[in-house]
Amino acid sequence: MGKIKYLIFSLGFFILLTTTVDAASASISISNDNITPGTSVKVTSTISSSNSIFFIEGTLKCSGAGVNNQIDLNFETMENNKKSDSKSLTVKPTSVGTIKCTINGKIMDSSSSNWVNVSSSKNINVVKPREKSTNNNLKSLSVEGYELSPSFDKNVLEYTVNLESNVEKITINASKEDGYASLNGTGEKEVQEGDNNFEITVTSETGASKVYKINAIVKDSNPIKQTIDGKEYTVIKRASTLEKPENFEETTVTIENIEIPAFYNEKANITLIGLKDEEGNNYLFRYNSKDNTYIKYQFLTSISQTIVFEDSQEKISNYEKKEVTIDNQKYTVYQNSKDKDYLLIYGMNLETGNKNWYLYNMKEKSIQTYMKDIMDDMNQSFDNKVKEYKVVLLGMAGLSLFLLCIIIIEIISKNKMKKKYLQKIQDMKESKKEIKEDSKEEKTEQEKKKKKEKKKNKKQKIDEDLW
């Protein structure tokens, strides 16, 4: 009977131990298991149990492809009934190959006083970097509800679609051949009478772009054509395609018995209508219904005022008539010959309706009234002053030259007198020298004579003594 009890106890303990082993586990998760050299990847190890964990001991190690990293997984607690523990490390391979990450550890939980071994492993493939794709082709292109002409071919870049006169919007759909390429230019588009040009751009992973073009032609049974400065335009008949400019109100005008959307400014008495060129670009033109004339609407705006350009053939001193570009728009203005940032324009103030000359500062984008009469008087006065100063300067220059001549003459005269004086001194020195030499010669002659006389006297005395 005792043996049976022992056998049952042993069997129960074996079952409990088996259950404990099955309940403890280790796992590895990787943020990316297929990378290239130089790419960082996070490796997370998790050791868990179905019971509260008392102890964990072990390591997480990753090696290969230039990697040799290790982290300690030791864990010890008796609180909070914790059933798992995770730790992470980041690896960054330097070469192609395989990184092997391995957990080797053991666990003791509340179900047993024995250690249970756990392990797990996972590989990371480090591959050669992929070459970037150069594919910038479309896979498909269509206008929803309409047929393209010609039929789509990835190597054909220009297409046409014909639309009825009442169509105001179309939807362009497209897909790209390569998943790494980017695509833009699709979606819902507004259209108006005549040609409407749209571009669909595919850019490859390497940055090379290919542009597909669609010309959506909306039928216009009675187009109003205008030729302005040698260029052909079509009058825009839909208000939805025009943007109302500031200080203008929406209105309509009648051209060739057709009502046309327009904009009107009462103070300036200006009417604007929209015209479209052959490339499909929209512009606003000033329209005069009396003589059916069109002038391109050009203006410059500052914080305080908007000036509409008016034509003027007047010449302004210190300013040259030139064509300049401001905010991608070309303007014919008068530019200061000395300071290129200052432009002079003749125009109308939209707020007051007054016409005047205005000075525009390109850097500050500010507009000031240019008092032409005052500036002309100032310029004339300045020119007169310059002339007066020239006369004074010439007189002073002549006087200076005269004084210089006198000084030169005086210097020459003084030099001559100095030379004479020096010559006189030299003559006196030479004369004294001659006198001195003559005196010396005379003295020598006297001495000789005296010696001769003395010698004579001595000889005479000797003769006397002999006698």
Q: Is 392 part of a structural domain of the chain?
A: yes
What's the whole-number mean pLDDT along residues 200-228? 93
pLDDT in tens, 308-348: 888 877 777 778 888 888 877 788 888 887 778 888 888 88
User: Is residue 267 located within the same domain as residue 314?
Assistant: yes
Pairing of strands 319-326, 329-336: antiparallel
Residue that terminates a domain, selected from 218, 249, 269: 218
**pLDDT for residue 154 is more than 50:** yes
Which CATH number do you get for residue 96?
Answer: 2.60.40.10
User: Is residue 283 located within the same domain as residue 394?
Assistant: no
User: Is residue 161 located within the same domain as residue 23?
Assistant: no
User: Is residue 241 located within the same domain as residue 356?
Assistant: yes
How does DSSP assign 298-363, residue by residue? Answer: -EEE-SS-EEEE-------TTEEEEEEEETTEEEEEEEESS-TTEEEEEEEETTT--EEEEEEETT
What's the whole-number mean pLDDT along residues 252-274? 92
Q: Which of 15-29, 90-104, 181-195 has the lowest mean pLDDT?
A: 15-29
What's the whole-number mean pLDDT along residues 154-181? 95
**pLDDT for residue 175 is more than 80:** yes
Q: What is the mean pLDDT of the chain?
A: 83
Confidence of residue 185 (pLDDT cuts 50, 70, 90): very high
User: Is residue 50 located within the same domain as residue 91?
Assistant: yes
**pLDDT for residue 209 is more than 90:** yes
Nearest to 196 by CA among 228, 221, 224, 220: 220
Give Cα separations from 430 to 424, 425, 436, 440, 441 (angstroms). Answer: 10, 9, 10, 15, 16
What's the whole-number mean pLDDT along residues 124-149? 95
**pLDDT for residue 130 is more than 90:** no
Confidence of residue 3 (pLDDT cuts 50, 70, 90): very low
User: Is residue 106 located within the same domain as residue 6?
Assistant: yes
Confidence of residue 63 (pLDDT cuts 50, 70, 90): very high
User: Is residue 307 located within the same domain as residue 329?
Assistant: yes
Angle at 258 between CA 252 and CA 262, to 5 degrees: 20
Given a contact cutoff of 8 angstroms between Cβ atoms, the answer to whether 183 and 200 are in contact is: yes
What's the whole-number mean pLDDT along residues 22-30? 86
Q: What is the dihedral of CA 377, 381, 382, 388, to 10 degrees?
A: 160
pLDDT computed for residue 54 by the predictor:
85
User: Is residue 111 located within the same domain as residue 241?
Assistant: no
For a pLDDT cut of 70, what percent of the chain falls above it? Answer: 85
pLDDT computed for residue 439 by the predictor:
66
Domain span at residue 366 reads 225-373
User: Is residue 242 located within the same domain as residue 146?
Assistant: no
User: Is residue 353 located within the same domain as residue 266?
Assistant: yes
Confidence of residue 438 (pLDDT cuts 50, 70, 90): low
Q: Is 15 part of a structural domain of the chain?
A: yes
pTM, entire model: 0.47
Q: Is 459 part of a structural domain of the chain?
A: no
What's the whole-number mean pLDDT along residues 97-122? 91
pLDDT in tens, 41-61: 999 999 998 888 888 999 999
Burial call 105-136: b when 16+ CB within 10 Å, e when fewer = bbbbbebbeeebebebebebebeeeeeeeebb
Q: Is 19 part of a structural domain of the chain?
A: yes
User: Is residue 81 located within the same domain as residue 28?
Assistant: yes
User: Is residue 262 located within the same domain as residue 290?
Assistant: yes
For residues 36 and 27, give the distance between their C-alpha atoms in angstroms, rounded to a whole number: 24
pLDDT computed for residue 128 by the predictor:
92
